[in-house]
Chain A
Amino acid sequence: MAKTPHREWAMIIDLDKCTGCGACVVACHAENNVPIQTEQEIARGRGIHWIHIERYWEGAFPRVKANFLPLLCQQCERAPCEPVCPVYASVRSDRENLNLQVYNRCVGTRYCQNNDPYKVRFFNWFEPVFDEPLNQQLNPDVTVRSAGVMEKCTFCVQRIRRAEERALAENRALRDGEVIPACVQTCPPSALVFGDLADPNSAVAKLAGDRRKFKLLEHLGTEPAIVYLKGGESNVRA
């Protein structure tokens, strides 16, 4: 494989812009062959969505507020899910700042799921079902995970590869904004922004310095690659 420069893939999520509409959720299902779970399985807490919207209530009626927070794998630099995997299925790529899930290594101990503080890893309790011909839609770039395998957001690694290969073929550097995961691509208010933090001129590098920035469960020291921007400030006096 050709040598590619060091990257720090990162995502900025502006909570002020996220409307909770769920476009990212369905886009991810379409891109990553994520199976839909039945009503009974969801009721048992086994729903699978690599990205989903958390909704938090704040305050009491009538001064109640609902906050949306899109939650996906935080691609931690010090990921708690990794050291507990006995078979190296959950491994880190330092070169790219990605947490990889190697499906054909996974033996389904679910240790990673237990140790994951964000609860963004999902276990396939059963063989996924795609009623024919719905299976015609499956993305050939992405493996369908079988029963007994853990899965999670990959930052659409297949899209990263595609963009890198195209840049390599054209003998040029990767441009900012050339790699767009499915969720970022579709987000109507552009609440999600993706890019390389190692490039100081990238959109994410500029936004990552925003005064509204925070990371999820920062005190755990996991050093996530996802930076949230706090929502709900206004300049209008009311």
Chain B
Amino acid sequence: MTRGITRREFIRIGVVGAAAAVLTGCLPPRAWVVLEPYVRPPEEQLAGVATWYASTCRQCPAGCGIVVRIMNGRALKIEGNPEHPLNRGKLCARGQAGVQLLYHPDRLSGPAQQTQRGTRQFKSLSWNDALNLLYSKLQAAGSATAVWGDSTMSGHLADIFARYTKAISAPAPIFFDLYTLFNGYSVLSKTNQQLFGSSALPIYDLAHADVVFSFGADFLSAALSQTRYGVEYGAFRSQPLGKRGFLVQLEPRMTITGAKADRWHAIKPGAEGLIAQAIASIIADQKLGSVERQTRAQTVAARVDVNSVAAASGLSVDDLTNLARIFAAADHPIAIPGAALNGQNNVAQAASAVQALNIIAGNIAQPGGMGMSASAPAGLIKPTPSSFADAQALVEQMRAGRIQALLVHGANPAFDLPDKIGFADAVKNVPFVVSFAPIVDETARYADLILPDRTYLESWGYDVVAPSFGQPIVSGQQPVVTPVFDARATADVMLTVARGIPAAARALPYADEVAFLKETVAALGSGAAGGAGADVLWARFQQHGGWWQSTIPAATPLQSKITAPITVSSTQFQGDEKEYPYFLHLFLSDLLSDGRGAKLPWLQGSPDPMTTIAWQTWVEMHPETAQKLGITSAQVEVGFQRGTLISDVVQVTSPFGAIEAPVYAHPGIRPDTIAIPIGQGHTDDGRYARDRGANALRLVGAQADATGSSLLWAGVRVKIARTGRQISLATFEFTPGVTRGFINAAFPGQ
């Protein structure tokens, strides 16, 4: 029986005398309660039994295994595949939202021809006519055909595109999107190639590490493998015998990873590499840690003047020394390079300087250290993210009129590239553009023909997991429902078209994509799921959601190839310091990632973890900065429970462009820095994404770093101006929360 005030007592208090006696006579209420809410369907309806199908998530390039709950032929819920060695049954917010891509109301049904580009005037075509059109154009284009894919493309489709372009002597497909650009896939590969002679992506064994130095790496958010690093983080915090890892985060603006850090340092933008260099230098000079670590530090660390690093980074000399002591004394320290490094002019040096700390720690290919992602099994393809220079070169080819037919799959270059690169102009010189987008996105607006591909829950495929932790993993992808719209698998489209082009027909002699996939999977042999024979292996591949071995192979030893000390030049910023007084810090939205989440209402409508804002773009600045600029961000009471945050809309201007967005006063950002999330500002891509917020890439120029791996998106300065307009921020913060106490403190009298 419940203790305290019961319903009976409450009514007794509220109702007087005899009336109360009558009412209490009706009790006890619990006698009538059926112990469940009204969740069961009427008696004559039987929902049936749910079945679960294993497949692969495609919301980012990580390749997590999923299982999808199917009832009456409908996909209801996605969960992590508990058997899958990468994500172990867990899944992030973006992965959970995948069903909304499948059932998105703005998906195209059937091929569409756009008679005049950019008009959105589509003419419906039959698949036969569309395929004939594609065939005639591709045959005419010959080797002047280019394929622009993205990093989430299924391995088999990447393989088919690669074989196709090779057969017709066209340039190899490029795989370029904002997600891999921001997270520096190309930079990390090149750095590892130089330091260790392996171009695989790095992995960090947080579960067995005791100290982690994150140089702005937001690994708990939209980074290299969010779900796996989430799992690792859980283990990092609860190690055997009550041990708990210690996380140090160095970044100009607090990310969710920074919020979890035991020590958070708000360093100056662009100082990450210098700090890593200083830590190495202090370990060498002050002989910190074991003799082995000192010796290695003396080899790889270029001596720097700690005082000048302190001035350039915003850390004190004591802070730097203290960090060096913590790192050198730890049993299993790890250093992780973050995203912001990848947009700086000294990116190659900075990433190397951070990785050099791992070499000093002696943790390479050790438990609780840095390792290398396992390489793909023979014959399987993982689309390798292209460098920025590759994307830029293709745009130049297009501009020069050397591309006759452009095939765009998965990628959205019209959104993903800054305006200054001029994709929109260059594409005008391409006579025939095909998009395979299931929903009309910014790039599809420039297309002559749209051949909607099936979304990943309706598609076949595989994904070689990268970064994969310790073992090669191939995630299997299968259709979990029958196609919802009249879409056709791009792999089948390409196989069909290839039949008419003799060179391609010889390279791709497959009846359909399933025949192609079966052959690939049979070559893998028997994995953890066992079985023998092509058919059994194929069935197990689908049933268990992929292929992997039951035992984890021993890590391949890696030798550092560093012979000379690594020096980091100081970061250059674009824009005059006087005219543009603030550093611009861009970051991928936790939920919308690089913008591909913006079309899904669950991700749009869920609060951002740090600001609790939904549906909008905002400009983060320190309350002191806001006060200095006379910017208002005040709480207005509108009801009993919650309040509304009214905020000034500001114009943020860089040397390259300007955007407008409301201000969010963020206590965890440097006063000299302005931060804006990437993800919104779509001009197309379905009803939930379109005409919403601003695309902060407008503020970025077209310059690449010296190695060509990356775009200089981080070293930009901006200025702020008030527009005079105000809007309500769609926040989920409660009235008594930070906004009120905090903003009122910053703006006395409001």
Q: Which residues of A contact B (CB under 8 A)?
A: 1, 14, 16-17, 19-23, 25-27, 29-31, 36-40, 42-47, 49, 52-57, 60-62, 64-68, 77-78, 82-85, 88, 91-96, 98, 100-104, 113-114, 119, 131-143, 154, 157-158, 161, 182, 185-191, 221, 232-236, 238
Subset of 29 A-B contacts with CB under 8 Å: A14-B237, A16-B237, A17-B238, A19-B260, A21-B226, A21-B230, A23-B230, A25-B606, A26-B94, A43-B729, A47-B732, A61-B622, A61-B671, A68-B259, A77-B2, A77-B3, A92-B2, A94-B30, A119-B734, A131-B105, A133-B105, A134-B103, A134-B104, A138-B76, A185-B79, A188-B87, A188-B91, A188-B234, A190-B231
Are A238 and B233 in contact (CB-based, < 8 A)?
Answer: no
User: Given A46, A66, A137, which contacts B100 in the complex, CB threshold below 8 Å?
Assistant: A137
CA distance A119 to B105 in the complex (A): 33
CA distance A143 to B37 in the complex (A): 9
Are B262 and A137 in contact (CB-based, < 8 A)?
Answer: no
**Closest CB in chain B relative to A233 CB, distance in Å:** 7
CA distance A206 to B39 in the complex (A): 32
Given A45-B644, A88-B7, A186-B80, are A26 and B257 neighbors across the interface (CB < 8 Å)?
no
**Closest CB in chain A relative to B103 CB, distance in Å:** 5
CA distance A57 to B38 in the complex (A): 39
Are B259 and A67 in contact (CB-based, < 8 A)?
Answer: yes
**Closest CB in chain B relative to A132 CB, distance in Å:** 6
Interface string of B1-28 (1 = CB under 8 A from A): 1111111011000000000000000000
CA distance A49 to B734 in the complex (A): 13
Chain B positions within 8 Å of A78 at CB level: 2-5
**Closest CB in chain B relative to A26 CB, distance in Å:** 4
Q: Taking CB as reference atom, which chain B residue is nearest A162?
A: B50
User: Given A42, A234, A235, which contacts B605 in the complex, CB threshold below 8 Å?
Assistant: A42
Chain A positions within 8 Å of B1 at CB level: 94
Are B610 and A66 in contact (CB-based, < 8 A)?
Answer: yes
Are A21 and B221 in contact (CB-based, < 8 A)?
Answer: yes
Binds A, one of B376-384, B507-515, B633-641: B633-641
**Closest CB in chain B relative to A136 CB, distance in Å:** 5
Given A36-B601, A36-B604, are A185 and B93 neighbors across the interface (CB < 8 Å)?
no
Most chain A beta carbons < 10 A, residue from B211, B220, B607: B607
Q: Which residues of B contact A (CB under 8 A)?
A: 1-7, 9-10, 29-30, 32-39, 41, 47, 71-72, 74-80, 87, 89-97, 99-100, 102-105, 210-211, 220-221, 226-231, 233-235, 237-238, 242-246, 254, 256-260, 262-266, 322, 326, 330, 484, 590-591, 601-607, 609-612, 614-616, 622, 638-644, 667-671, 687, 728-734, 737-738, 742
Q: Taking CB as reference atom, which chain B residue is nearest A90?
A: B7
User: Given B10, B601, B641, which contacts A83 in the complex, CB threshold below 8 Å?
Assistant: B10
Chain B positions within 8 Å of A23 at CB level: 90-93, 95-96, 227, 230
Are A238 and B326 in contact (CB-based, < 8 A)?
Answer: yes
Q: Other than the known A54-B734, A235-B244, A238-B246, what 15 A-B pairs have Cβ atoms closer than 8 Å?
A: A16-B244, A23-B227, A26-B606, A27-B96, A39-B614, A42-B605, A43-B731, A55-B611, A61-B266, A66-B610, A100-B37, A137-B76, A139-B76, A185-B79, A187-B90
Are B641 and A64 in contact (CB-based, < 8 A)?
Answer: no
User: Given B79, B95, B730, which contacts A39 in the complex, CB threshold below 8 Å?
Assistant: B730
Q: Taking CB as reference atom, which chain B residue is nearest A85?
A: B7
User: Given B10, B77, B609, B687, which contacts A22 in the complex, CB threshold below 8 Å?
Assistant: B609
**Closest CB in chain A relative to B403 CB, distance in Å:** 37
Chain B positions within 8 Å of A22 at CB level: 93, 590-591, 606-607, 609
Given A47-B605, A53-B607, A221-B4, are A186 and B614 neighbors across the interface (CB < 8 Å)?
no
Chain B positions within 8 Å of A38 at CB level: 605, 615
Are B93 and A25 in contact (CB-based, < 8 A)?
Answer: yes
**Closest CB in chain B relative to A187 CB, distance in Å:** 7
Chain B positions within 8 Å of A98 at CB level: 35
CA distance A68 to B259 in the complex (A): 8
Are B33 and A93 in contact (CB-based, < 8 A)?
Answer: yes
User: Given A42, A66, A154, which contacts B615 in the complex, CB threshold below 8 Å?
Assistant: A42
CA distance A98 to B34 in the complex (A): 13
Chain B positions within 8 Å of A187 at CB level: 90, 230
Are A134 and B100 in contact (CB-based, < 8 A)?
Answer: yes
Chain B positions within 8 Å of A56 at CB level: 737-738
Chain A positions within 8 Å of B234 at CB level: 17, 188-191
CA distance A140 to B282 in the complex (A): 62
Are B326 and A17 in contact (CB-based, < 8 A)?
Answer: no
Q: Taking CB as reference atom, which chain A residue is nearest B232?
A: A189
Are A186 and B256 in contact (CB-based, < 8 A)?
Answer: no
CA distance A40 to B644 in the complex (A): 10
Are A234 and B93 in contact (CB-based, < 8 A)?
Answer: no
User: Given B37, B243, B591, B639, which contacts A157 in the complex, CB threshold below 8 Å?
Assistant: B37
Are B259 and A136 in contact (CB-based, < 8 A)?
Answer: no
**Closest CB in chain B relative to A23 CB, distance in Å:** 5
Given A30-B602, A82-B7, A190-B234, are A42 and B731 neighbors across the interface (CB < 8 Å)?
yes
Chain B positions within 8 Å of A68 at CB level: 256, 259-260, 609
Are A158 and B606 in contact (CB-based, < 8 A)?
Answer: no
Which 5 pairs between the two chains have the least Cβ-Cβ distance? A188-B230, A45-B642, A189-B234, A36-B605, A66-B259
Given A66-B610, A182-B77, A238-B322, are A19 and B257 neighbors across the interface (CB < 8 Å)?
yes
**Closest CB in chain B relative to A42 CB, distance in Å:** 4
CA distance A114 to B641 in the complex (A): 8
Are A88 and B29 in contact (CB-based, < 8 A)?
Answer: yes
Chain B positions within 8 Å of A52 at CB level: 606-607, 732
Are B233 and A20 in contact (CB-based, < 8 A)?
Answer: no
Are A189 and B233 in contact (CB-based, < 8 A)?
Answer: yes
Chain B positions within 8 Å of A100 at CB level: 33, 35-37
CA distance A96 to B91 in the complex (A): 29
**Closest CB in chain A relative to B349 CB, distance in Å:** 26
Chain A positions within 8 Å of B728 at CB level: 40, 43-44
Chain A positions within 8 Å of B642 at CB level: 44-46, 119
Are A233 and B667 in contact (CB-based, < 8 A)?
Answer: no
Most chain B beta carbons < 10 A, residue from A30, A31, A233: A30
Given A21-B230, A55-B609, A134-B105, are A185 and B638 neighbors across the interface (CB < 8 Å)?
no
Chain A positions within 8 Å of B93 at CB level: 21-23, 25-27
Given A30-B99, A103-B37, are A53 and B609 neighbors across the interface (CB < 8 Å)?
yes
User: Given A19, A26, A53, which contacts B230 in the complex, CB threshold below 8 Å?
Assistant: A19
CA distance A19 to B36 in the complex (A): 32
Are B615 and A139 in contact (CB-based, < 8 A)?
Answer: no
Are B231 and A26 in contact (CB-based, < 8 A)?
Answer: no
**Closest CB in chain A relative to B84 CB, distance in Å:** 13
**Closest CB in chain A relative to B598 CB, distance in Å:** 13
CA distance A235 to B237 in the complex (A): 11
Chain A positions within 8 Å of B260 at CB level: 19-20, 68
Chain B positions within 8 Å of A40 at CB level: 728, 730
Chain A positions within 8 Å of B609 at CB level: 20-22, 53, 55, 68
CA distance A88 to B29 in the complex (A): 8
Chain A positions within 8 Å of B640 at CB level: 114
CA distance A101 to B652 in the complex (A): 47
CA distance A138 to B79 in the complex (A): 15
Given A45-B643, A77-B2, are A19 and B39 neighbors across the interface (CB < 8 Å)?
no
Are A17 and B233 in contact (CB-based, < 8 A)?
Answer: yes
Chain A positions within 8 Å of B243 at CB level: 235
Chain A positions within 8 Å of B47 at CB level: 140-141
Are A161 and B237 in contact (CB-based, < 8 A)?
Answer: no
CA distance A57 to B667 in the complex (A): 8
Are B92 and A188 in contact (CB-based, < 8 A)?
Answer: yes
Q: Taking CB as reference atom, which chain A residue is nearest B239?
A: A235
**Closest CB in chain A relative to B470 CB, distance in Å:** 18
Chain A positions within 8 Å of B263 at CB level: 238
User: Given A14, A27, A49, A188, which contacts B732 in the complex, CB threshold below 8 Å?
Assistant: A49
Chain A positions within 8 Å of B227 at CB level: 23, 188
Q: Taking CB as reference atom, which chain A residue is nearest B741?
A: A57
**Closest CB in chain A relative to B729 CB, distance in Å:** 7
**Closest CB in chain A relative to B589 CB, distance in Å:** 11
